[in-house]
Amino acid sequence: MEHGSEVLLSLFVIFVGAQLGAEIAQRLKLPGVVGEIAAGCVLGPSLLGWIHPAEALDVLAEIGVVLLLFAVGLETRLDEMKRVGRSAMLVGVLGVIFPFALGSLWAHGAGYDWAKSLFVAAAFVATSAGITARVLQELGVLQREESRVILGAAVIDDILAMLLLGIVTALQGGQSLRLDHLAIVLLEAVGFVVVVALLGTRVMRRSSQWLEAPINPLSPLTIVLALCLGLAYLSTQFGLAAIIGAFLAGMIASETRQRETLEHQTRPLLALMTPFFFVMTGSKVELSQLADGTTLATLAFITAIALVSKLVGGYLGALPLGRRGALIVGVGMMPRGEVGVVIASLGFAAGVFSPRTYALIVAMSLLTSIVTPPLLALLFKNHVPAAPAQTPP
Amino acid sequence: MEHGSEVLLSLFVIFVGAQLGAEIAQRLKLPGVVGEIAAGCVLGPSLLGWIHPAEALDVLAEIGVVLLLFAVGLETRLDEMKRVGRSAMLVGVLGVIFPFALGSLWAHGAGYDWAKSLFVAAAFVATSAGITARVLQELGVLQREESRVILGAAVIDDILAMLLLGIVTALQGGQSLRLDHLAIVLLEAVGFVVVVALLGTRVMRRSSQWLEAPINPLSPLTIVLALCLGLAYLSTQFGLAAIIGAFLAGMIASETRQRETLEHQTRPLLALMTPFFFVMTGSKVELSQLADGTTLATLAFITAIALVSKLVGGYLGALPLGRRGALIVGVGMMPRGEVGVVIASLGFAAGVFSPRTYALIVAMSLLTSIVTPPLLALLFKNHVPAAPAQTPP
């Protein structure tokens, strides 16, 4: 009697694939998220072809990662973020400079002119906070200093990457750089983050009782979810990723006295929605584009560039945390995930990239996301042997 | 850095609209769902035009109603359903015969030939379980006998409506009726429901400990959600609505010893997802098609036919419950909701209906959904003055 039964089948396949993938990965002592991404590779068009690209699935994936960063924000206090502000800033800035420099050198060496090389390099820059946030949450280490630095740096990273994309797009189009315009864009983005973080937390701290004013007994949850969707949308209007707004919404909500209830209620939401994000991320790997030896060698090379440049930038920025802490931060900044894929799509649509470069950058972005979680888990496990492998239900 | 910001805005608008609508309705002593549907009317293309039809939003709505019926199933035990089986069967059958007879008489009177009239009448038949289930849940009366009869009758109703649609489509296409084929379709659908209900509950009762076997601490929830999506899809393959499968999945899951935890974890999922169903239902009302007096009078007339025919069918079928109980059951079966809309769309696409008849049937379906919740709330409130107005969080 109803339409959309193919969509129901896709939902079922994605959801079950994610559960199986996560279970297998965890039995192999890997973070569950690796299994979910791998499940996406297997189910996607490259291999089984059981998942087809569809707008509705992308929307579910977006909701999934937005809720994930909201939940991570819920476990993050603004005061603790302020304490690591200097390190986060340094990690964010150095973590942009190194990949951008190495990326543009490689692209120029590969035959692109400088304007195009800078565009290619932009895809090396932006960190995907979703992957790392999920691993940190899975390991139960969101409260640690390294985690805070990574999250703070991810926000700064996203602001800088947005600026950089504006610059390389202008250069690519042969336009002259309007520094005054860039300054306004930067100010607006920074202003949005600062105003929302400071004002939001202050308002919430003083008046969290009105969250319970509506008749709906779940009203604290529904109000902060509305805040999450609203700030996620607003942050896209400031040129930032939706997850930045969601993270801020979570951080604001963490100041309420209903925080623990909210954390508890968010878990089933993540259980339902985040698999769509990770499986859809994995399903975007196009293995067929990478079938020959030369391409694979190039892929290995640019993935190494992407990993090392981010690692060094993050490491140097976070050295005040000690060597091991700096290493954790560097590794935590490595995944490019869906952000790299989005920039590659922009470059491809604008005719800047060849199809081969596009496939390479997409594969690189996803490889960095697959490589990071096990490394991060390893570093944290050796660092604190007693760290719980799972957050309790 | 990310795409899809218009979708995020729609999500925000729908979600906030639903909360505001529900709050206003509840302050006016109406069920919250009335406010959510009304919010959809206001936000939809007819009035403000802030929500545009989009596949992704329809998928979210579908997930919402699937989860709702899953949650309702979770509060329903098979043994209790068996006890009301005879009444439910009678209500289901009479609740199909009366609307079908009156609907086809009206359509024939309005100028359609008999084959087309029967098709129009099919849109008068099917009950939308979503609306009533939500009201019963909101009122906290899912455990009552009347509620069980309504839910059981809704399952039977859906099977009969599916058969009926098959028959009228065949007649419309000028094909001769293949009774053997219809018998197979009926047997398959009944077999699906009976086998899933009996086998599923038996398996769950005996072995609910393996729901905790996976490493994921939320595994009981993720496994039953997978079951829910899987059975929702399967039931569409048997010609039934997805919500029938979801209801069965919930009923199966209610036999596990993790039932209370599951009920608790499902609430945040409903809080996030069901607003999309009710708001999208409301947004499909096309007020502009109904602007003149004659059309409005016709609409009032067919809505009255739809309401009275279902009420009488349900009332007669449920008379063993007493007059008040029978009245509750009759009213509970009245909403046609999205099911009527789907059948109208089929008829419109097949060229059976005129655009005006289509608009009338859609408006009738939605009107029955708006009228029912307050009546049902009124009947239950007068019946048991102590019934809680809200399920506790």
Burial of B295 by CB count in 10 Å (0-12 exposed, 13-18 middle, 19+ buried)? Answer: middle
Tokens at B260, concatenated: 């209370």
Closest alpha carbon within chain A to B227 = A12
Number of residues written out for chain A: 393
Predicted confidence at residue B384, as pLDDT, reads 52
Q: Could B225 and A390 be called an inter-chain contact, meaning their C-beta atoms sit closer than 8 Å?
A: no
Question: Quick one: residue A162, left, alpha or beta (phi over 0 = left, psi -120 to 50 = alpha)?
Answer: alpha
Contact list, A338 vs chain B (CB under 8 Å): 2
The answer to whether residues A54 and A11 touch, using CB atoms and an 8 Å cutoff, is no
pLDDT digits (tens, 9 = 90+) for A325-339: 999 999 999 998 777
For residue A248, what are its two tokens? Answer: 């801020």
Q: Which residues of A touch B22 (CB under 8 A)?
A: 215-216
Question: CA-CA distances (angstroms) from residue B388 to A180, A220, B136, B370, B377?
Answer: 61, 20, 11, 22, 11
Do residues A173 and A111 touch, judged by C-beta distance below 8 A?
no
- Nearest residue on chain A to B125, alpha-carbon basis: A1
Distance of alpha carbon B68 from alpha carbon B132, whole angstroms = 11
Residue A308 has pLDDT above 70, yes or no: yes
pLDDT greater than 80 at residue A342 = no
| Whole-angstrom distance, CA of residue A266 vs CA of residue A314 | 30
C-alpha distance from A7 to closest chain B C-alpha (Å): 8
Shortest alpha-carbon distance between residue A81 and chain B (Å): 23
pLDDT at B80: 83
- Return d(Cα A34, Cα A16) in angstroms, integer: 15
Handedness of CA B334, B152, B138, B235 (dihedral sign): negative
DSSP three-state, residue B217? coil
Burial A351-374 (b: 16+ CB within 10 A, else e): ebbeeebbbbbbbbbbbbbbbbbb
Residues in B closer than 8 angstroms to A229, CB to CB, are: 8, 11-12, 15-16
In this prediction, residue B386 carries a pLDDT of: 40
**Which one of A22, A26, A269 has the shortest CB-CB distance to B272?**
A269
Q: For residues B33 and B270, what is the distance between their CA atoms, to the nearest angstrom?
A: 13
Contacts of A127 in chain B (CB under 8 A): none
Inter-chain CB proximity A12 and B233 less than 8 Å:
yes
Q: How far is B126 from chain A, CA to nearest CA, in Å?
A: 9
Average pLDDT over chain A, rounded to an integer:
87
Using a CB-CB cut-off of 8 Å, the residues of chain B touching A27 are 215
What is the helix (H) or strand (E) element at residue B118, kind and residue range? Answer: helix B114-122
Q: Under an 8 A CB cutoff, do A216 and B55 touch?
A: no
Query: Per the CB < 8 Å rule, is A63 touching B9?
Result: no
- A271 and B27 within 8 Å at the Cβ level: the answer is no
* Residue of chain A whose alpha carbon sits nearest to that of B216: A23
Taking CA atoms, B19 is separated from A63, A218, A230, A269, B160, in Å, by 19, 11, 14, 18, 35
pLDDT (0 to 100) of residue B20: 96
Of A1, A27, A223, which is closest to B240 when you measure between CB atoms?
Answer: A1
Please tell me the distance from the alpha carbon of residue B91 to that of residue B63, in angstroms, as a whole number.
Answer: 28
pLDDT of residue A8: 93
Counting Cα atoms < 13 Å in the Cβ hemisphere of B225 gives 29
Higher per-residue pLDDT: A343 or A386: A343
For residue B36, count other CB atoms closer than 10 A to its CB.
28
For the purposes of burial, counting CB atoms within 10 Å of the CB of B54, is it exposed (0-12), middle (13-18) or buried (19 or more)? middle
Phi-psi map region of A185: left, alpha, beta (phi>0 left; psi -120 to 50 alpha): alpha
CB-count exposure of residue A308 (10 Å: 0-12, 13-18, 19+):
middle
Which residues of chain B make contact with A22, given a CB cutoff of 8 A? 215-216
Interchain contact, A19 vs B343, CB within 8 Å: no
Q: Do B158 and A1 touch (CB under 8 A)?
A: yes
Nearest-Cα residue of chain A relative to residue B7: A59
How confident is the model at residue A343, as a pLDDT? 80
Give the position of tokens 């560039």: A305
Cβ neighbours of B348 in A, within 8 Å: none
| pLDDT tens per residue across span A179-199 | 788 888 888 888 999 999 999
- Look at residue A380 in the predicted model and tell me its pLDDT: 86
Nearest to A368 by CA among A189, A206, A130, A186: A130
Please report residues of A whose CB lies closer than 8 A to that of B5.
233, 236-237, 242
Determine whether the interchain pair A2/B338 forms a contact, defined as Cβ–Cβ distance below 8 Å.
yes
Please name the member of A4, A222, A241 whose beta carbon is closest to the beta carbon of B19: A222
Buried b (16+ CB within 10 A) or exposed e, A79-92: ebbeebeebbbbbb
Task: Give contacts of B62 with chain A, Cβ < 8 Å.
Answer: 2, 4, 7-8
Cα–Cα dist B291/A265, whole Å: 45
Tens digits of per-residue pLDDT, B291-311? 788 888 999 999 999 999 999
CA B232, CA B354: separation in Å to the nearest integer? 32
Measure A234 CA to nearest chain B CA, in Å: 9
Structure tokens at A391: 């957050």
In residues, how long is chain B? 393
Nearest residue in chain A measured CA to CA from B164: A1
Distance CA B10, CA B57 (A): 8
- Measured in Å, how far apart are chain A's first and last C-alpha atoms? 37
Residue ranges, chain B, pLDDT below 70: 1-4, 383-393
The chain B residue lying nearest A268, using CA atoms, is B265
pLDDT the model gives residue B213: 84
From the candidates A267, A272, A336, A339, which should be mutated to test the interface with B, based on the most B CB atoms within 10 A? A272
Q: How far is A199 from chain B (nearest CA, A)?
A: 21
Task: Give the Cα separation of B305 and A124 in Å (integer).
Answer: 65
pLDDT at res. B214: 87
Question: Where do we find the tokens 């609209």?
Answer: B17
Angle made by CA atoms B83, B87, B91, in degrees to the nearest 5: 145
* A44-A50-A56-A61 Cα dihedral, nearest 10 degrees: -40
**Position A170 pLDDT exceeds 80:** no
- CB B229 to CB A8 under 8 A? yes
Instruction: Indicate whether A389 pLDDT > 70.
Output: no
- Which chain B residues have a beta carbon less than 8 Å from that of A23? 214-216
Could B2 and A342 be called an inter-chain contact, meaning their C-beta atoms sit closer than 8 Å? yes
Entry pTM: 0.87
The distance of B235 to chain A (nearest Cα, Å) reads 9
Facing residue for B126 by CB, picked from A1, A16, A272: A1
CA A232 to chain B, closest CA, distance in angstroms equals 7
* pLDDT, tens digit, 9 for 90 and up, residues A223-234: 999 999 999 999
Between chains, do A19 and B393 touch, taking CB under 8 Å as contact? no
DSSP letters along A193-227, please? HHHHHHHHHHHHHH-GGGGG-SSSTTHHHHHHHHH
pLDDT: is A111 or B4 the higher one? A111
When CB atoms are compared, the residue of B19, B161, B236 closest to A5 is B236
Tokens for B229, please give them.
Answer: 């999506």
State the pLDDT confidence band at A4, using cuts at 50, 70 and 90. Answer: low
User: How far is residue B242's CA from residue B224's CA, in Å, rounded to a whole number?
Assistant: 15
| Closest Cα in chain A, distance from residue B104 (Å) | 20
Q: What is the pLDDT, as a whole number, of residue A383?
A: 61
pLDDT at residue A359 in the model: 83
Rounded mean pLDDT, A249-262: 91
| Per-residue pLDDT tens over the stretch B232-286 | 999 989 888 888 899 999 999 999 988 899 999 999 999 999 999 999 988 887 7
- Say if residue A290's pLDDT is above 80: no
Nearest one of A360, A361, A310, A298 to A335, comparing CA atoms: A310
Contact A33, A373 (CB under 8 A): yes
Cβ atoms within 10 A of the Cβ of A222, count?
23
